[in-house]
Amino acid sequence: MDCLQDWPEPVVRVQSLSDSGATTIPERYVKPAADRPSSAPCADIRIPVIDFATLASDGSTLDCPTVAQAVSCACRDWGFFQVVNHGVDPGLIRRMREVWGSFFHLPMEAKQAYANSPKTYEGYGSRLGIEKGAILDWGDYYYLHVLPTSLKSTDKWPALPPTLRETTDEYNQELLKLCERVMKVLSLGLGLEDDFLQKAFGGDDVGACMRINFYPKCPQPDLTLGLSSHSDPGGITVLLADDRVKGLQVRRGDAWVTVQPVPDAFIINVGDQVQVLSNATYKSVEHRVVVNSEAERLSFAFFYNPKSDLLIGPAPELVTPDHPALYQPMSFDEYRLYIRRKGPRGKSQVESFKAV
């Protein structure tokens, strides 16, 4: 895997470009006309909002089939939903936003100490993919491992502001609990036992990581994207979006639907591994981020993934003569090399591994 050793070109921080006050963006960030934000109409519809208040704290849904049904429908139809009354303390959410907002506003030298490489992606980064000459996205990020604990190294997390590490740890523990509940609901929605997905992901050996996305103000937002269209390669993603600044768009047929964030809600979406395990009953849907000239935007994407060396294929229970297996089994380690090399490219990856 030598090709993942280093970036093909010097890394430019998007925040520096934004702070320079230039009124145009470098050529490297200008997308082809078909990919620009304005080229597709934005439909005036919304992704489902689901209330978890009636869901038992362990995720068992015997008491509330309505929640399970709503989640199942959303994952079949949209691949996305927002969840309110999810049980994560709004005070903790506020602290996460504060500490990471402060980090991205530290002087550049302080952030550069954490510059990442494509080998593990951990740390402060400004691109996905290692193709020389690629058109880049208008965003910086910080990537960190949560599970397995053997990969988690808090010394690679920012040391400043001083409460960042403990706040992030606390947040991650809460998000892991939320993911476990969501996994049960998703399993039941497939007509399977509630521990089906968790077991398929490796039980206690699941993986988890987080990307904190920072999208600086952009002088020409109509020409570029904060994050190009992609589907998430992992299991499920729980996104804490910016309450004040919109940006996430979800594909709906030929249109892009702008998500209207509900304050302190989480946006949950199905990743490619759950699409594969569910034999395409649940959809891992393309999404992208648009930027703007008025305000920066901060978002937290928490990725809950299968143990990285397990083979992930369609659940035998969901394969029938009428619904043959759509995908060949593959480990997540192997699968995610694609996005790590090529960067975000719509749904081309999961499509390319179709068995038929």
Q: Does 285 interact with ligand OGA (rule: CB under 6 A)?
A: no
Give Cα separations from 267 to 18, 93, 236, 330 (angstroms).
27, 14, 11, 27
Three-state SS annotation for 16-70: HHHHCCCCCCCHHHCCCHHHCHHHCCECCCCCCEEECCCCCCCCCCCCCHHHHHH
Strand spans (E) along the chain: 49-51, 80-84, 123-125, 140-147, 207-215, 227-230, 236-240, 248-252, 255-258, 266-270, 287-289, 297-305, 311-312, 330-331
289 binds, among ligand OGA, Ni ion, none (CB under 5 to 8 A by kind): ligand OGA
Specify whether the CB–CB gap between 293 and 303 falls below 8 A: no
Specify whether the CB–CB gap between 295 and 247 falls below 8 A: no
Candidates 278, 284, 299, 305: give the one binding ligand OGA (CB under 6 A).
299
Instruction: Report, in Å, the least distance between residue 299 CB and ligand OGA.
Output: 4
Instruction: Please give the span between the terminal C-alpha atoms of the chain, in angstroms, as a whole number.
Output: 29
DSSP result, 87-111: S--HHHHHHHHHHHHHHHTS-HHHH
Interface segment toward ligand OGA; rule CB under 6 A; list 68-76, 104-112, 241-249, 306-314: 241-249
Q: Does 301 interact with ligand OGA (rule: CB under 6 A)?
A: yes
Pick the closer one to ligand OGA by CB: 190 or 218: 218
Whose CB is nearest to Ni ion? Answer: 232
241 binds, among ligand OGA, Ni ion, none (CB under 5 to 8 A by kind): ligand OGA
Alpha carbon distance 136, 112 (integer Å): 19
Pick the closer one to ligand OGA by CB: 326 or 339: 339
User: Site for Ni ion (CB under 5 A): how many residues?
Assistant: 1
Q: Does 270 interact with ligand OGA (rule: CB under 6 A)?
A: no
Candidates 13, 181, 217, 287: give the one binding ligand OGA (CB under 6 A).
287
Q: Does 272 interact with Ni ion (rule: CB under 5 A)?
A: no
Q: Does 232 interact with Ni ion (rule: CB under 5 A)?
A: yes
Q: Does 211 interact with ligand OGA (rule: CB under 6 A)?
A: yes
Pick the closer one to ligand OGA by CB: 280 or 289: 289
Pick the closer one to Ni ion by CB: 67 or 74: 74
175 binds, among Ni ion, ligand OGA, none (CB under 5 to 8 A by kind): none
Q: Does 140 interact with Ni ion (rule: CB under 5 A)?
A: no
Binding site for Ni ion (CB under 5 A): 232
